[in-house]
Amino acid sequence: MQNLVASDYAVQISNLEKRFTRRDSAEVSRAIDDVSFAVPRGSFFTLLGPSGCGKTTTLRCLAGLETADGGEISMNGQSVYSAAGHRDITPDARPIAMVPQSYGIWPHMKVFDNAAFPLRYGRKTYPPAERKRRVLAMLEQVGLSEYADRWSTQLSGGQQQRLALARALLCEPEVLLLDEPLSNLDAKLRSQLRAELRAFQQEFGVTTIYVTHDQGEALAMSDTIVVMNRGRIEQIGTPSEIYDAPSSRFVADFVGSANLVPGVVDRPMPSGTRVVDAKTALGTVRCERFSTPPRPPVAGQEMSVCIRPEHIRVAAGAPESGGPNRFPGRVVTAEYLGDRQEVVVTVGDVTLRAHADAHLNARAGDDVTVALDPAWTVALWS
């Protein structure tokens, strides 16, 4: 990503702000606050975060459905919104198509007419024969050709979702904006359609900005994830960067499951070092992963240690010798899941969740050795 130049980005937003005034009081809330990111052309780019963190507002500002209160947005190198330049291009003049959460399918129209709508009245219109050819080809691609003459209300949830996607793609947008498009579907269909959606995105090569609060969806589908919290960006990275090297307690906790143990930096860190020793209630924990701290950490500085359950090894019996990252623990609960045992252990007052070997046969009350893999132990500064 570092080697890209401005023209490699389909969308760039910088220092975007949006405030809302509550109707029942004069209170002003910042829905998005100083949000900046750049979306590489052709990529699948996800805004992930809990309800109310500002994902939809960001998407609506991109679409031009909401006017921001500050910052800049450009698409294909052209400014579409600039607070300083008093520019705010209307939604229909932006090179985007948006699929809202509710799909926005018209119930009084047949499937064909729903899909054909943008080619009749949109940015780029076509004569009837060409329109028909394009719509039928697209319906074929999304597996809906046999439904072309049905009323759209006769489609299942998954089929409606495909129709909404077909209609958006027929607009030939530079950027496709998808707001929680799978949230109305049941769990099985969601996982089937997320694979389909990703395959369509790759096939069409359309830059896609996807909003979800589902971390599993974000990890499975995205090239890049932006994790948002309370209107601000917590971290931007690839799915594995976000999962393996979260930069804050919030990200560690929101994406996947994490053990978070508060501590302090044990010794001053020489500059350029890639190891932090932390003093925690477990004992000394060595962390070989961390994001660049805001300032060089000093001994005694508060921090947290983060380790995923799959990077904690649990062995029968108390440890024969101590040492960093090896601690005596006691099993609280153990569940056999076929491929592993999910074990909850206590080390002193600290409770840890670990994925142990399926054949460990751990039982509540067993003494065990708990080992945190330093290569996967992350030091968090906030």
> Residue numbers of the site for ligand ATP (CB under 6 A)?
20, 29, 31, 49, 51-57, 213
Classify each residue of 268-305 as buried b or exposed e, where b means 16 or more C-beta atoms within 10 Å of its C-beta.
ebeeeeeebbbbbebbbbbbebbbebeeebeeebebbb
Angle at which helices 157-170 and 187-204 cross, to 10°: 20
d(CA 123, CA 175): 14
Which of 365, 351, 160, 346 lies closest to 259 in space, CA to CA? Answer: 351
The dihedral formed by the CA atoms of 170, 201, 162 and 66, expressed in degrees to the nearest 10: -70
Three-class secondary structure assignment of 236-277: EECHHHHHHCCCCHHHHHHCCCCEEEEEEECCCCCCCCCCEE
Cβ 242 to ligand ATP shortest distance, Å? 17
Cβ 23 to ligand ATP shortest distance, Å? 7
Cβ 10 to ligand ATP shortest distance, Å? 21
Of the pair 29, 192, the CB lying nearest ligand ATP is at: 29
Which of 181, 186, 109 lies closest to 142 in space, CA to CA? Answer: 181
Which of 43, 44, 22, 20 lies closest to 33 in space, CA to CA? Answer: 20
Cβ 236 to ligand ATP shortest distance, Å? 16
Of the pair 175, 312, the CB lying nearest ligand ATP is at: 175
Of the pair 8, 17, the CB lying nearest ligand ATP is at: 17
Q: What are phi and psi of 317, to 5 degrees?
A: 85, 155
Of the pair 53, 177, the CB lying nearest ligand ATP is at: 53
Cβ 98 to ligand ATP shortest distance, Å? 14
Cβ 99 to ligand ATP shortest distance, Å? 14
d(CA 318, CA 296): 36
Of the pair 18, 131, the CB lying nearest ligand ATP is at: 18
Cβ 59 to ligand ATP shortest distance, Å? 8
Q: What are phi and psi of 169, to 5 degrees?
A: -70, -30
Of the pair 168, 211, the CB lying nearest ligand ATP is at: 211
Q: Which two tokens stand for residue 152?
A: 């759209």
Cβ 208 to ligand ATP shortest distance, Å? 17
Of the pair 57, 159, the CB lying nearest ligand ATP is at: 57
d(CA 255, CA 219): 9
Of the pair 20, 106, the CB lying nearest ligand ATP is at: 20
Of the pair 224, 229, the CB lying nearest ligand ATP is at: 229
CA distances from 45 to 48, 188, 360 (A): 10, 23, 40
d(CA 63, CA 88): 11
CB atoms within 10 A of CB 220: 14
Cβ 174 to ligand ATP shortest distance, Å? 23
